[in-house]
Every structure is written in C-alpha cells, then in structure tokens.
Structure 1
C-alpha cells in the first residue's frame, strides 16, 4: 500500500508501468474502478491512480473536505512526488472537475487534460433548479432515505435505472461498509462542492483541454454540462465509447480511444 501524506489527508495511490505519465482520476470513483484501464495503458506508460481524499483508503483529518481545488492540489503533489510528469490526465465525473481545477491552478504539471463528463451544473440555464433538486436528494440521503435519494439522483442525471435495480443495489443491510462510507462522504462532503464549482474559462483556454462525452450519454445531464463547457471553451467535444462509466464498462475500446486522442494531441502540441 502506497500512502502520500498531505496536511489534512493521507492519499492512497498506485503506480504501474513505465513511460510517459498518465493520471486517471475519479471522484467519488477510486483507484480500483480504473484498474482495468490502467493495466491496458501501463504497457507503454506510467499510470498513476488514486483514491480521492475521504474515499476508501484515502483518509481525512476530522473536519476535512473535498473541494475541487483541494483534489487538484492532491493530484499536483502526487505528480511531483512520483517525479514522472508533466502528465496527461483523464478525469471522469467529479474527477473531471478535479482535472480541470488541476489545469487551472497547476498548469506546470499537466500536458493534456481530458475532462470526461464533468458535472458542472452551474454552466446550465436551469442551474438553480438542478441545485435545489440536488440539495433535496443529498438531505434525504443523509436523513436515512438511501434508496430514495439514489432514485432521485438517477432521475436528475437522466440515467434510466429501474426502481427494483436501485432497491437491489442500494437497499438492505448487507452492503459493503467501505462502499457505504465512501458513498456517504460523497453525499455529505463532495457532491455539492463538485457540482457548484465554476471554472476559470480564461485560464482553461490557455491549457490543452479535451472535453470528453460518452457516445451513449446523449441527453443525460453530464452530456449537457460537458457540451456547455466545450462551447464556452470553443472546442468540439470528443466522443468516447460507452456512457458515463465507459472506462469501467468497456475498458479496451476506451483505452484505444484515449490513446488515439492523446496521440493526436501530441502531434499538435508545441
């Protein structure tokens, strides 16, 4: 187990392979979720994965929080620590917001950032309504209505999940305690901080940023937020295989698409 300590957290991370550095970052997804993709990329690259602060093996001091700028600082410190940067960074979901904050605040450690489906709700015209719905589901979860909160979440995200599947996934008393703890941390200390973050567009326009969207995500909330960000940055969204978790569901085609995107960026980078 590899642990890197910062002032208010102990960060669990993994390094595999050799070659140019690629960082795979999620929030709340942890290092295990990226393991199949990391193994595929590690044949010719150094791959850094981690549990984000407060999730699973990455622990926080009492009262610790998980804001995008904190997660970006964690990533910057780890990139410098492993001494293999600058890095190409794939961030997905909340990890995409972390990666954008990394490009914004620590451009020296980054080559290309691929922000895959960042949930930047504040970029949308119905942002206030979205926030109100998010606040309700977070409050319901923390009050004990776990299944109800998840049902609200998937409706808000416009991701179809039958009620019986939600009840099987998130109901009952036999769930993995570690997963439940990570989930509760997300609802209590990470979700709001992520969806309300506003990027500095002027800074990001100076960085090499790719906005990624799943080919199967059309009409979903993160398709809307990603398309809005791409428009504000003046770039075309890049399509990746699968949906919001395409790197989990189809790691081989996702790895091929990621390699192609990074290869194309390498050819155009000064």
Structure 2
C-alpha cells in the first residue's frame, strides 16, 4: 500500500477535502484559498495523480479504499484523539459517506455534495444502468460522447445524437483524469449503496441550486431520508465547487461552523 497523497494549506480546524472524478484536485485552488483563513485544508489525492503518479497503472477503484486512505490522511494530520470536518463532492462524496460510516471517530461533521448513490432512488437500478452506459460509450467513442451522455443523464433528458469519436489508447487514458474516472471510478462508485440509518457523526447531504429538478438533487433528497441526515443547498450545480468557489466556500463554512467566511 502506497503512502496517501495530500496537500495542506491554511490554519484552523482540519477540513478534509475529497475531490470528485478520479480524485485529482485540479481546480480546487480558489476554494481552498478562500477557506484557508478559517481551516487547515487537507486536500486528499487518492490516486496520487497530482503527486507524480499520473500515467501509472490504475485499476478499478473501490469506495472503501478511498475512505480507508482518507482515514490514514486524518491519522497523519490530526493530533491524537482529534477530529476533523470533511467535504466530499461527486465521487469524493461517496467516499465521504463511507468514511462517515466506517471511521466516525475521526470526524465531527461531514458534508457530502451530490454523491451519485443513485441506488437509493425508486428507479435506482435504471439510473445505475445509465451510468454503466456512459462508461460503455466512453470505451466505444471516447470522452466527448461520454461527456454528452453524462450531462444528459444528470439532467434526466434524452441525449440525442452523440458526437462521434474514438476510444482513447491506454497511454492517453492513464494521463487523462476524466478518462480514468470513466474507466475506473464511475461504475463502482455509482453502484455504492450506504446502509440505511443515521451515521455516528453529523452528516449533511448537499445539492447544488442549479441541480434542482435533476438527478443529483433528487438523489440527495432521497439520501437525506435514507441516512436521516441534514440537507443543505449549495451554489451552482454538480460542479459548483469549481463554478462558484468563493460562494461555495462561504456556504460550506456556514454549514460547518454556523458562520461565514466574511463574518
């Protein structure tokens, strides 16, 4: 087992970030900068893609491996007996849910932003099949076609004609984080179904305001009931953490601390 990869910035209580996609923390800089005056922000990179491992072999991922790695990061960055806040988004939110279930002793409050745990839905089997189709389209037609279908799945609409493309070579795939997510993360992570009932640590399931009426908002609402969790609405849509980083950070601080960054 390799040592976990992560970056640390800021001061204050520890806030663990679990990125989406294949876990590459690209694009999170503006949000972590906004948070760094109030938190010690620890950004976990589960595959080490931003830490010299991009291009190395990647196998199909397991939610439990990501959450176990996150626990190791907390053990390395917290004092003995200390606890942390945590934010996971998309695939990272699935790992955050598992972390809350399996390692609650290191956590004080977890925010899971739009975890694609669609199995909780009444039509969950159909939605899981839709994500499997996205992965199949990626393997057959490449990133553009898979991305177009993914957007349609999230918006719960017909995709229409998909753009033509070609499969990526293995070498191209291993150096493209989104391709790695489609090849090795989305399938197993959308198949994950957390056990029903409350977690031992405080849990908030979040959805983006721009996701109202779409699949991830609906999933978040069902997860709140399934897990007896709190609910919060955040700025933007599924990629709100990148679209509105400062406002997203402000909403996160209010959710975790009861006060904003600008107070």
TM-score, length of structure 2 as denominator length: 0.84
Kindly state the Cα deviation for residue 64 of structure 1 after the two structures are TM-superposed. 3.6
* Aligned twin of 2:236: 242
* Aligned twin of 2:13: 20
* Aligned twin of 1:189: 184
* Aligned twin of 1:30: 24
Structure 1 unmatched ranges of 5 or more = 1-6, 266-270
Residue 6 of structure 2 contacts residue 45 of structure 2 at CA under 8 Å; is this kept in 1?
A: yes
* Aligned twin of 1:4: none
* Aligned twin of 1:262: 256
Residue 99 of structure 1 contacts residue 115 of structure 1 at CA under 8 Å; is this kept in 2?
A: yes
Residue 142 of structure 1 contacts residue 184 of structure 1 at CA under 8 Å; is this kept in 2?
A: no
- The residue correspondences of 1:211-222 to structure 2 (distance < 5 A) are 211-222=205-216
Q: Structure 1, residues 114-160: CA drift from partner, whole Å, max 9, x if none?
A: 01111111011112222222222211211234322221111111178
Q: How many residues align?
A: 252
Kindly state the Cα deviation for residue 63 of structure 1 after the two structures are TM-superposed. 6.2
Calculate the aligned-residue CA RMSD, in Å: 3.0
**In structure 2, C-alpha distance between the alignment counterparts of 1:194 and 1:58, rounded to whole Å:** 24
- SS of 1:141's partner is helix
Matched, 1:157 2:154: yes
Structure 2 unmatched ranges of 5 or more = none
Residue 51 of structure 1 contacts residue 58 of structure 1 at CA under 8 Å; is this kept in 2?
A: no
Matched, 1:78 2:73: yes
* Aligned twin of 1:268: none
Residue 101 of structure 2 contacts residue 199 of structure 2 at CA under 8 Å; is this kept in 1?
A: no
Residue of 88, 93, 105 corresponding to 2:90:
93
Matched, 1:67 2:39: no
Whose relative contact order is higher, 1 or 2, with alpha carbons under 8 Å and at least 6 apart? 2
Kindly state the Cα deviation for residue 163 of structure 1 after the two structures are TM-superposed. 8.9
Residue 54 of structure 1 contacts residue 66 of structure 1 at CA under 8 Å; is this kept in 2?
A: no
Kindly state the Cα deviation for residue 264 of structure 1 after the two structures are TM-superposed. 3.1
Q: Structure 1, residues 79-105: CA drift from partner, whole Å, max 9, x if none?
A: 111235411001111111111111111
Residue of 97, 118, 123 corresponding to 1:121:
118
Kindly state the Cα deviation for residue 16 of structure 1 after the two structures are TM-superposed. 0.6
TM-score, length of structure 1 as denominator length: 0.82
- Range with greater deviation from structure 2 (209-218 or 143-152): 143-152
Residue 66 of structure 1 contacts residue 189 of structure 1 at CA under 8 Å; is this kept in 2?
A: yes
Kindly state the Cα deviation for residue 178 of structure 1 after the two structures are TM-superposed. 7.9
Matched, 1:224 2:224: no
Residue 57 of structure 2 contacts residue 174 of structure 2 at CA under 8 Å; is this kept in 1?
A: no
CA shift in 2, pair 1:211/1:11, >3 Å = same
- SS of 2:257's partner is helix
